Amino acid sequence: VTPLEHLVAALDVGGTTTRGVIARAAGPGPPLVSTRAPTVTGEADVLVDVLGGTVSALASAAGVEIGELGAVGIGIPGIVDPVSGRVRHAVNLGVGDAPLYLADRLGASFGIPVVVDNDANLAALGAAAVLDHSDDLAYLSIGTGVAVGLVLDGRIRRGWRGAAGEIGHLPVDPDGPVCRCGQRGCLEAVASGAALARQWPADDGLSPATALFAAAAAGSAPAIAVRDRFAGHVAQAVAVIGLAVDPALVVLGGGVGEVGAPLLAAVRAALRARAGGSPLLADLDLAGRLALAPDGVAPGLVGAVELARSRVPAAATER
């Protein structure tokens, strides 16, 4: 039997889906308990309550009290200060300019350490733990929003204001729709899962991205057009990352990343088309540096577990 203080909880809060696990505080092995549910958005107080309930349900399923866990690690979109546990500008979760002190509020109610970081940062850490080039990679999260997590020279690059990697709010289309951040034509407004759902609504239970790529593979001309335009925008994001920080590897992830090989192929084709007219881009070989996370691995959760483990005193993890 695992002593109680040897367990941690981890959450990966996406704009659409929240995943959670209970895992051992040290050593290898799969999570003991896991969950996946729609993210409840709209109001910060409701979000706090729902996330608290998720941790509570995970603990119950693992047969422990929350107070018996070593720590909770949470990945969440937006501008996150991991020291204070403050979240701002998680525009897809209803968190705006007013700070949400998520770590303090959950920590006070649980009575154990709660630590929060940006979800893309944690996914980059998680990807670094399971892939080669572990000390230099970018994790491009294409979900409800678009953001990139950076592990450069072995360290997370958070940025001076915590905004490193918020490339979803890079305007790329002056005629595009107004973004929730207030600008027009952001990458997120044209190349996110939410943007894709507007362009290719799915009503058969599949995710819009899965439905779109299946329809394109089956030869639907409108689907091919939407897919190729979408892949072109993602390729633009990859080019921005490559030219700005030149990481060894760019990992495609997020909800849309679950499309897998067909997404990788479409974005590689778009990158090669760009490189066809540019000896500079051709030399960078961004298509060759693009990768998917291994099957069955949720890098954001791997990173959130690592974050929680970092807050458990080493003595508590020894048998």
Residues that bind Zn ion (CB under 5 A): 169, 179, 181, 183, 186
Q: Kindly state the smallest distance separating residue 169's Cβ from Zn ion, in Å.
A: 4
Q: Kindly state the smallest distance separating residue 240's Cβ from Zn ion, in Å.
A: 14
Angstrom distance (rounded) from CA 189 to CA 168? 8
Q: Kindly state the smallest distance separating residue 191's Cβ from Zn ion, in Å.
A: 11
Burial class from Cβ neighbours inside 10 Å (0-12, 13-18, 19+) for residue 97 reads exposed
Distances, alpha carbon 126 to alpha carbons 3, 66, 238, in Å: 25, 24, 19
Comparing CB distances to Zn ion, the nearer of 182 and 277 is: 182
Comparing CB distances to Zn ion, the nearer of 20 and 145 is: 145
Cβ-based neighbour number of residue 298 at 10 Å:
21
On whether the CB atoms of residues 23 and 8 are closer than 8 A, the answer is yes
Tokens of 285: 């070989």
Distances, alpha carbon 29 to alpha carbons 22, 25, 132, in Å: 11, 11, 20
For 5, residues 6+ apart whose C-beta sits below 8 A from its C-beta are 25, 68, 69, 70, 312, 316, 317
Q: Kindly state the smallest distance separating residue 195's Cβ from Zn ion, in Å.
A: 11
For 260, residues 6+ apart whose C-beta sits below 8 A from its C-beta are 292, 295
Q: Kindly state the smallest distance separating residue 170's Cβ from Zn ion, in Å.
A: 8
Angstrom distance (rounded) from CA 31 to CA 2? 13
Comparing CB distances to Zn ion, the nearer of 24 and 169 is: 169
Comparing CB distances to Zn ion, the nearer of 188 and 258 is: 188
Rg over alpha carbons for the chain, rounded to the nearest Å, is: 19
Angstrom distance (rounded) from CA 241 to CA 257? 17
Q: Kindly state the smallest distance separating residue 91's Cβ from Zn ion, in Å.
A: 7
Give 285's DSSP letter. T
Comparing CB distances to Zn ion, the nearer of 59 and 186 is: 186
Angstrom distance (rounded) from CA 64 to CA 1? 12
Q: Kindly state the smallest distance separating residue 44's Cβ from Zn ion, in Å.
A: 20
Comparing CB distances to Zn ion, the nearer of 97 and 295 is: 97
Comparing CB distances to Zn ion, the nearer of 26 and 170 is: 170
Q: Kindly state the smallest distance separating residue 156's Cβ from Zn ion, in Å.
A: 22
Comparing CB distances to Zn ion, the nearer of 168 and 257 is: 168
